[in-house]
A = this chain, B = another copy of it.
Amino acid sequence: MNSRRDFLQKVSLGIGVTALAGLPASAAAPSAPVVRAEKQLRVAIMGLGGYANIVAEAMQKCTMATLVGVVSGTPSKVDTWKKKYNIPDKNTYNYETVSEIKNNPDIDIVYVTTPNSLHHKHVLQIAATGKHVICEKPVADNAKQTREMIAACEKAGVKFYIGYRLHFEPHTRELIRMRESGELGKIMHVNNYMGFKSGDPTQWRLKKALAGGGAMMDVGVYALNGARYCTGEEPIWVTAQETKTDPIKFKEVDETITFQLGFPSGVIANCGTTYNFNNFERLYVIGEKGFVELSPAFGYGPIKGRTNAGPMNMPAHIPHQTLQMDGLADIILNNKPDPHITGHEGLKDMIVVDAVYESIRKGGQKIFINKA
C-alpha cells in the first residue's frame, strides 16, 4: 500500500489526522503520480454544472474512485465530458434515458449534483435503478422530501450518501478528534458562519423553484452541520432571524439569516449565513479546556485552523473532493464505517433548516425539535 492510500484510508477510518502530519511530503504532493487501486468505485455524475466540474477534476487524483459516466440534458456538455474524461458512449445518459442505468453493470454509484430543488426527484430516479446514490447538499427542500429519499433508497437496497466533503477534510477531522478525545473539555459554545456575495442575478440559486431556498439551504447548512460536529449532539431547539438588505435581488429566496441551536448539554451554537456579503466563513468551538477556530472553515480550501495551542499543522492541501470520493470508495468497497455522511445525517440537518424557516415565520420564536 502506498503512503497516499494509507493517508486516505486513515482519514476514512477516522484515525487521528495529527498522526498524519509526519507523512513524507510526496504523500500530499499534487504532482505525485496517481497509483490506482485494483478495486475501483465507478462513479457517474448527474447534472454537469459548475460543481460537477470540480468533482470530476478532483477525482482525477483519486486512487479508489473513477469517473465512468454522466447524466445530462445538454448534449454538448456530454460531448465535452466524453472527450475530457474518456467516458464511453454506453455510460452517457440524459434525463429521459436515466432509468436505463439499471442495466449498466459498469456504474456503481451516481453523484447527483443537479440544482438543489431537483435532488429529491433525481435521487428517487437513481434509487429505482438499483445504483447507490451520493447527493450533493442540501439534500432536499425539506425534511419531508428527505425522509422520502431515505425510504426510497432503503426500499431499493441502495446506499444513500450526502456530499458532506468536510467529514473527510483533515482540519475538520482533527477538531472532531479533539472533541471526542476530551482535549477540548466540555464543549461550551459554538459560533459558526458561512456565506458569500452572490454574483450573477440570473443564476439558479436565486430562483426558488430550482434552489428550494436561499443562503440557509445552500451554505447555512455548513454552519449548521458544523455545529453538529462541533458538539456531537443533536439540537433540541432552534431560533432564527432574517434580513433582506436587497429585497429585489433576493425576492424569491432568503438573503441573510442568523440562527441559534440549543443542544441538550446546554451549548448554544450561534450561527449565520448570507448570499450578500463576503468575509463570512468561520467555525469557532469553545470547550472548557481549549478552542478550535477554522477560518476559512467550509469552502473548497485550503482550510486554515488554530487552537488554543497555536496554528494547526495539517498535511498539505488536497482537494476535498479527492479525499471525499476516495474515502467514500473505501467505505463502500471495503465496508468501512462512514463518518456521518449518510442520508440520515442530511435529514438531521433538514429538520433544523425546516425549524429555522418556521422560527422566522413565527418572529424568532423557539421551535423545539428532536423531542425524546
Contacts and interface: CB of A to CB of B under 8 A. Distances in A.
A53 interface: no
A267 interface: yes
Contacts of A272: 189, 191, 268, 270
A270 B241 CA distance: 10
Contacts of A262: 241, 243
Contacts of A265: 245
Interface in A219-270: 239, 241, 243-245, 256, 258, 260, 262, 265-268, 270
B266 A243 contact: yes
A287 to B, nearest CB: 8
Give the interface centre of A243, A265, A267, A308 by most chain B CB atoms within 10 Å. A243
Contacts of A239: 239, 241, 364
Contacts of A258: 260, 268, 270
A364 B245 CA distance: 22
B286 A267 contact: no
Nearest to A274: B189
B260 A245 contact: no
A91 interface: no
Give the interface centre of A188, A256, A274, A291 by most chain B CB atoms within 10 Å. A188
A225 B107 CA distance: 59
A186 to B, nearest CB: 8
Nearest to A244: B266
Contacts of A359: 364
Given A268-B243, A363-B366, A365-B364, A189 B256 contact: yes
A190 B213 CA distance: 23
A241 B366 contact: yes
A276 interface: yes
A86 interface: no
A359 B241 CA distance: 13
A288 interface: yes
Interface in A329-372: 359, 363-366
Interface of A: 186, 188-189, 191, 193, 239, 241, 243-245, 256, 258, 260, 262, 265-268, 270, 272, 274, 276-280, 286, 288, 290-291, 308, 359, 363-366
26 contacts: A186-B245, A188-B245, A188-B277, A189-B274, A189-B280, A239-B239, A241-B260, A241-B262, A241-B268, A243-B266, A243-B267, A245-B265, A256-B266, A260-B364, A268-B272, A270-B270, A277-B286, A278-B286, A279-B286, A279-B290, A279-B291, A279-B308, A280-B286, A363-B366, A364-B364, A364-B366
